[in-house]
Amino acid sequence: MAPVAITGTKKFRNYVGGEWVDAAGGETFESIVPATGDAIGEFPRSTGEDVDRAVAAAKEAYEDWRLTPAPKRAEVLYRFANLLVEHKDDLADLMSREMGKVRVEAAGDVQEAIDMTLYMAGEGRRMFGQTTPSELPNKFQMSVRMPIGVVGVITPWNFPIAIPSWKIAPALVCGNTIVFKPAEDTPLLAERFVELLEESGLPAGVVNVVHGFGEEVGEVLVKHPDVPVITFTGSRETGVRVTHAAADQLKLVHLELGGKNAIVVMDDADLELAVDGIVWSAFGTSGQRCTAASRIVVHEKVYDELQTLLVAAAERMRLGPGWEADTDLGPVINRASIEKIHAYTEIGKDEGATLLTGGEVATGDGLEKGFYYRPTIFGDVEPGMRIAQEEIFGPTTALIKVKDFDEAVRAVNGVKYGLSSAIFTQDVNRAFRAMRDLHTGITYINAGTTGAEVHLPFGGTKDTGNGHREAGQAALDVFTEWKAIYVDYSGKLQRAQIDNE
């Protein structure tokens, strides 16, 4: 696997009905190494015809898969998890090349998929419903979870192994089948993901992968009449388009969208710990996380000291290819991203914020071959500025000065997103108020805004999504429907409330 990433271009295919096949139209696209600009592989540029074939295969496979006992479905996931463990190093190496993630972060991405798969495999022997006493004599009642059908899975490039596992593992254990449209920036990682699923003994047609672009594949998948569930992670703007496209058929749509996450640093915070948390949250994965800390809300008493420490920490970071051991910050995903990030630097300067460090495309030492942007910090940022309101998705963060805790809460909540938040404080009362008052789906105390674990629900409020959650037992609600069952063994007609006056 790793030599493919290093030595040159190889042609890959879609996976439909248990077979590796070319796109019907024969067109292809290349996956590019963001650290060097080299091609890593050639992939099918699929169209609606390819989506139709994949959906038909998934629909046919569903009838047998839904009747496979859930513990047996789980056995496939356990085997898959073991294969992920076995191939973890190779997958991490490949991720450092195709996606650009620093090697240690790439290994964490794969570990997250291992953890999620093991957790969801356990649901094969749980997946609990409820039994409740009836209000009438000689009557039994219960609720059970039922699979829904073919699930359209559309994933981003920034967590190319972890996020597919968040969606595919729970969908499979619940008895659904899959048509998987991965990001066009990381198709080889998706290819390996599906190859390992195939090796796990998954029946033909249960998971299918169709490579290609959103407007040519994703939109067709969302609108397909035989796909009742869509799960999508990406930008807010695309999420709105997905919602509109699925609305006419009343599909179940699960959206994980953007974030504009904030870390609060109070006057009693451990500043060294706070700086560590900020650097990891703001610049990890080169800021390309939906949970990245792009706002730092700082009490005025420690603002200057924190600014000095944070700038020094950012300027010590070494940029380079993710596979090199001493790299702190890898490339961003592509040229369009680097242009967007730099455009926000210019916006911040035009708005009157102070550029404290970074703010430029990195060159020298071969960096000009890839898509590198220096870690960027703005000071003197007002909460209403665009750089404090809009998702940049790059290694940029903004320092916002506040007078007290209440002003900090207003700043954190004063954006349209609500994914993750954090506070550094030694005051237990402030910590509990933050847990209550920060209007986000995730809140960390004395840690950064990243680091979610698979057994708690993941997702956000407001424009971060549409209310559904990934991970934990909450994920089952996306991929199952509830059925209420009543068994009357009284031998006579009982009319519920009419006979229970």
State both tokens at 279: 């650097």
- From the list 442, 453, 468, 459, the residue with the least C-alpha distance to 115 is 453
Helices (H) and strands (E) in the chain, counts: 15, 21
Give CA–CA dist 457/438, Å, rounded. Answer: 17
Pairing of strands 293-299, 261-265: parallel
Residues in the chain: 501
The amino acid at residue 87 is H
Q: Give the active site residue among 216, 256, 391, 470.
A: 256
Question: Strand pairing partners for 11?
Answer: 42
Is residue 445 classed as helix, strand or coil in its secondary structure? strand
Strands (E) located in 318-387: 354-357, 376-379
Q: Are 468 and 459 in contact (CB under 8 A)?
A: yes
Q: How crowded is residue 374: how many other Cβ atoms within 10 Å of its Cβ? A: 20
State both tokens at 226: 């035989």
Q: How crowded is residue 8: how many other Cβ atoms within 10 Å of its Cβ? A: 11
- From the list 357, 424, 340, the residue with the least C-alpha distance to 397 is 357
Q: Which residues of 127-159 are buried (b: 16+ CB within 10 A; e: fewer)?
A: beeeeeebebeeeebeeebebbbbbbbbbbbbb
Q: CA 419, 266, 345 angle in degrees (round to 5)?
A: 55
Residues 6+ apart with CB under 8 A from 331: 34, 35, 100, 286, 321, 322, 370, 371, 372
Give CA–CA dist 77/64, Å, rounded. Answer: 17
Q: Give the active site residue among 290, 315, 339, 453.
A: 290
Q: Are 440 and 285 in contact (CB under 8 A)?
A: no
Give CA–CA dist 42/46, Å, rounded. Answer: 12
Establish whether 174 is a catalytic residue.
no
Give CA–CA dist 54/44, Å, rounded. Answer: 14
State both tokens at 301: 């008493």
Establish whether 256 is a catalytic residue.
yes
The amino acid at residue 330 is G
Sign (positive or negative) of CA dihedral 467, 295, 290, 443: negative
Give CA–CA dist 416/90, Å, rounded. Answer: 39
Q: CA 189, 148, 161 angle in degrees (round to 5)?
A: 15
> Which one-letter DSSP state was computed for residue 216?
I
Catalytically annotated residues: 256, 290
